[in-house]
Structure formats: C-alpha cells, structure tokens
Amino acid sequence: MAIKKILVIEDDRFIGEMYVRSLQREGYTVDWVVDGHDGFVAATNKPYDLILLDIMLPEMRGSEILKALRDNSQNKIPNTRIVVMTNFDQDAESRIAMQHNVDAYLIKAEITPRRLIEIIKKFDADNLETKQDQSINT
C-alpha cells in the first residue's frame, strides 16, 4: 500500500504548516488537526495511510490517542502507519509509543521536512519490497 493520504495531528501552527506544505508539494493528500480529540475523530472516521502524531496535544494527549487506536485487544486502524513526533525524548513516552506499535518515534528538533519525506518514502519502499517478496514466494 503506497502512502498517499496523511493525517497530521500537531498543535504547533508553525510546525504543522511546515509539514503540510512540504508533504503537499510531494503530492500527498494531507489533513491537519490541532488537538487530540479532533485527531482521534479524524483518524477513526477517514482512512489514512499514515498518521503523524504529536504527543503533547490539547484536549487529548498523543499517548491517549495511541492507546485508543491501537489497544492490545483491538487495532482500530490496522492498515495505517503511525509516526510519533515530539519535542521530548522521554523514556516513558517512548515506551508508551512503542507498546502501541508505532512505526517510528521522532524528535521534532532533529527532523527537517526533507528528512520526514525521506522516512515516508522509505516506508513506501519497504511496502514495495514486501509485496515483491510475497509475489516471489507465491
């Protein structure tokens, strides 16, 4: 599955606008919400290939969204990749993120829009390799 539709859940307007513009320039369809509650609603009401999720959000924290979307008993979005993005390199937040099967955990200060796009394209390349491996084995 190629990544085409991306949901950005980010309350920082500067960062959100920067990511949205960069992703749209690369041809992605992007929706952007600025609080956790709206992010959870968007993630469950529309299919996305990728969610870029901030941890520190108003209304509902990113870790709460992760728990709600990827609870051990039920994965509400099984075909969606999740990349957690935060300004904090906190062990507790990292553990929560990884326990809920995120695809990457990124520190915002270390990620430029160009680097983010490289990571997303790597996800697409990984998907292509998996599909090719499956077709070879069948």
**What's the topology of domain 5-137?**
Rossmann fold (3.40.50)
| Structural domain spans, the chain | 5-137
Contact 35, 57 (CB under 8 A): yes
Predicted confidence (pLDDT) per residue in 88-137, tens digit: 765 666 566 666 678 888 888 889 999 999 999 998 887 655 444 333 33
Predicted confidence (pLDDT) per residue in 20-75, tens digit: 999 999 999 999 999 999 999 999 999 999 999 998 899 999 888 988 898 766 78
User: H or E element: which one contains 133?
Assistant: helix 113-137
pTM over the 0.95 mark: no
* CA–CA separation, 96 and 60 (whole Å): 15
